[in-house]
């Protein structure tokens, strides 16, 4: 019986030889990732009510990112509670204000191929980039996992999305993700598993694969998986992951897919999604010349090392347009350190960017850098629902770091290829 990666990982976690699509099975969880917003402050009262502790502290990764850094007494109290809970439950894998959970978890070696993992955040499919089955759940579901080490899952079908060919300069995985949102819609995933394939995907580095997997959430999938290969192995080895936790699963030839979608990378240009949906994406040339107040390079989706380098490749020797603000929130402290060492940050600072501490920042409207009534932002983030980044009348356009950087220079939505081909 041919199976997909998703079925194989779920079967392993369920202790079964084989699972069929539609089966409801109980799985042992290899990794539970939680953050300061949906984590301790929500699960603590539930675990206390149940009268239990955590099932295995070594399998829990706790990261403060949503309210990092704190900006008032309420957010300070949330971070304090987070630290106290970590100490109380002896959570050694606790990263306090070191970056965004989806980036820090693999960066610190907690993720590897074949793992069955849950995260208390909707962008948890990011872990699928590593050949793991990782998906987001709510806080009460998470409390159940922390208490028992298990969760239920309906075995998903798999939707295969193939990308072939090479995309040109100024185009990135973010554009692939936005293109899929527009072409396929935000419910194509139907809470099934997406499996990304084709030579374009095989050629992407881990950070670009993470962007693709991350935005499987915007396609409505439970997760977005990339088959593990040498690139995956090199990353997880370098991150210090325990090889004892890996198990490489690949989809069998002839495995059943619910659907197969094909895209040509060579035809892909920079994409911009207008408010209030990623599915509003269109070619940058067709984007309206909206007034933009804030240009934002941030989030798990859009502020990894390569994202900062994309922005720097456009901003080198250039300045942010007068009267505009470019705000940068690196996705982790390690990324910030590396981007400082290799000169990327210098380019961004020289261009006039203002730097926020690492964390989720303005992306979900929880942290620093949020928008006032009627303000408009062009962001490298994943999601632009109404009011997401602040006040309810604020608006967000989405694009790649290249496009955000190029637009910050001109002050209006701009095709980055116009600047990349014409270095100052």
Distance CA 224, CA 77 (A): 35
3-state helix, strand, coil in the chain (%, to 5): 35, 20, 45
**Residue 77: CB minimum distance to other proteins, A:** 9
- The yes or no reply on residue 49 touching other proteins (CB under 8 A) is yes
- The yes or no reply on residue 183 touching other proteins (CB under 8 A) is no
- The yes or no reply on residue 46 touching other proteins (CB under 8 A) is yes
Please identify, using beta-carbon distances, which residue of 152 and 199 lies nearer to other proteins: 152
Distance CA 177, CA 399 (A): 10
- The yes or no reply on residue 187 touching other proteins (CB under 8 A) is yes
Nearest to 120 by CA among 31, 57, 6: 31
Q: How far is CA 25 from CA 33, 146, 190, 254, in A?
A: 21, 18, 19, 24
**Residue 48: CB minimum distance to other proteins, A:** 11
Choose which of 6, 13, 86, 137 interacts with other proteins (CB under 8 A): 137
- The yes or no reply on residue 75 touching other proteins (CB under 8 A) is yes
Please identify, using beta-carbon distances, which residue of 39 and 270 lies nearer to other proteins: 39
Q: Which are the contacts of 421, defined by CB distance < 8 A and separation ≥ 6?
A: 169
Choose which of 28, 81, 186, 258 interacts with other proteins (CB under 8 A): 186
String of contacts with other proteins for each residue 362-401, x by CB under 8 A: --xxx---x------------x-xxxx-xxx---------
Binding residues for other proteins restricted to 281-340, rule: CB under 8 A: none
Helices (H), 89-229: 101-107, 139-148, 173-184, 199-202, 206-214
Q: What are phi and psi of 340, to 5 degrees?
A: -75, -45
Judged by CB under 8 A, the stretch of 85-93, 131-139, 171-179, 322-330 that binds other proteins is 131-139
Q: Which strand (E) or helix (H) includes residue 60?
A: strand 60-64
Distance CA 389, CA 397 (A): 11
Please identify, using beta-carbon distances, which residue of 46 and 248 lies nearer to other proteins: 46
Angle 263-208-130 from CA coordinates, rounded to 5°: 100
Choose which of 24, 253, 254, 341 interacts with other proteins (CB under 8 A): 24
Please identify, using beta-carbon distances, which residue of 358 and 370 lies nearer to other proteins: 370
Binding residues for other proteins restricted to 222-251, rule: CB under 8 A: 222
**Residue 61: CB minimum distance to other proteins, A:** 16
Judged by CB under 8 A, the stretch of 9-17, 106-114, 289-297, 359-367 that binds other proteins is 359-367
Q: How far is CA 346 from CA 104, 313, 353, 368, in A?
A: 23, 12, 10, 22
- The yes or no reply on residue 23 touching other proteins (CB under 8 A) is no
Please identify, using beta-carbon distances, which residue of 102 and 318 lies nearer to other proteins: 102
Choose which of 15, 20, 50, 229 interacts with other proteins (CB under 8 A): 50
Cis ω for the linkage preceding 276 (within 30 of 0): yes
Binding residues for other proteins restricted to 140-179, rule: CB under 8 A: 140-141, 143-144, 147-148, 152
DSSP letters spanning 328-381: E--SBHHHHHHHHHTTHHHHHHHTT-EEPPSSSTTTTSSSSSPBPTT-EEEESS
Binding residues for other proteins restricted to 105-124, rule: CB under 8 A: 120-122, 124
Q: Are 384 and 396 in contact (CB under 8 A)?
A: yes
Distance CA 135, CA 319 (A): 40
Q: How far is CA 209 from CA 80, 116, 153, 227, 295, in A?
A: 34, 18, 24, 10, 24
Please identify, using beta-carbon distances, which residue of 387 and 411 lies nearer to other proteins: 387
- The yes or no reply on residue 263 touching other proteins (CB under 8 A) is no
**Residue 74: CB minimum distance to other proteins, A:** 4
Q: Which are the contacts of 72, defined by CB distance < 8 A and separation ≥ 6?
A: none
- The yes or no reply on residue 21 touching other proteins (CB under 8 A) is no
Name the residues that contact other proteins, by CB under 8 A: 24, 37-38, 42, 46, 49-52, 66-67, 74-75, 78, 120-122, 124, 136-141, 143-144, 147-148, 152, 186-187, 190-191, 217, 220, 222, 277, 364-366, 370, 383, 385-388, 390-392
């Amino acid at each position: 019986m041919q199976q997909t990666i998703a079925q194989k990982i779920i079967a392993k976690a369920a202790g079964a030889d084989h699972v069929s699509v539609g089966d409801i099975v109980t799985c042992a969880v290899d990794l539970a990732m939680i953050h300061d917003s949906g984590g301790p402050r929500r699960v603590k009262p539930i675990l206390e009510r149940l009268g239990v502790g955590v099932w295995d502290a070594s399998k829990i990764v706790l990261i403060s990112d949503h309210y990092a850094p704190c900006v008032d007494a309420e957010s300070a109290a949330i971070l304090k509670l987070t630290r106290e809970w970590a100490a109380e439950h002896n959570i050694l894998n606790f990263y306090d204000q070191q970056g965004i959970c989806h980036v820090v978890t693999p960066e610190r070696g907690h993720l590897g191929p074949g793992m069955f993992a849950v995260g208390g955040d909707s962008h948890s499919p990011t872990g699928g980039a590593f050949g793991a089955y990782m998906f987001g759940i709510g806080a009460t579901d998470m409390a159940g996992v922390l208490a028992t080490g298990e969760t239920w899952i309906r075995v998903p079908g798999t939707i295969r999305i193939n990308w072939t060919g090479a995309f040109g300069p100024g185009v990135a995985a973010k554009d692939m993700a936005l293109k899929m949102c527009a072409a396929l819609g935000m419910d194509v995933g139907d809470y099934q598993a997406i499996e990304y394939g084709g030579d374009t995907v095989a050629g992407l580095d881990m950070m670009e694969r993470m962007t693709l997997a991350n935005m499987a959430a915007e396609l409505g999938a439970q997760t977005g998986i990339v088959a593990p290969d040498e690139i995956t192995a090199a990353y997880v080895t370098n991150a210090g992951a325990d090889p004892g936790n890996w198990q490489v699963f690949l989809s069998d030839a002839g495995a059943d897919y619910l659907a197969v979608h094909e895209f040509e990378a060579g035809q892909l240009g920079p994409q911009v999604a207008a408010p209030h949906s990623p599915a509003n994406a269109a070619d940058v040339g067709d984007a309206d010349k909206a007034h933009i107040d804030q240009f934002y390079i941030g989030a798990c989706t859009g502020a990894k090392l390569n994202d900062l380098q994309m922005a720097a490749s456009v901003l080198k020797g250039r300045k942010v347009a007068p009267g505009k603000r470019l705000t940068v929130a690196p996705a982790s402290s390690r990324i910030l350190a590396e981007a400082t060492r290799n000169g990327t940050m210098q380019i961004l600072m020289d261009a006039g960017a203002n730097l926020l501490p690492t964390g989720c920042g303005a992306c979900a409207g929880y942290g620093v850098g949020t928008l006032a009534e009627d303000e408009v932002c062009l962001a490298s983030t994943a999601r632009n629902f109404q009011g997401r980044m602040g006040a309810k009348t604020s608006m967000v356009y989405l694009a790649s770091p290249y496009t955000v950087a190029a637009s910050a220079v001109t002050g209006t939505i701009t095709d980055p290829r116009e600047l990349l081909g014409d270095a100052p």
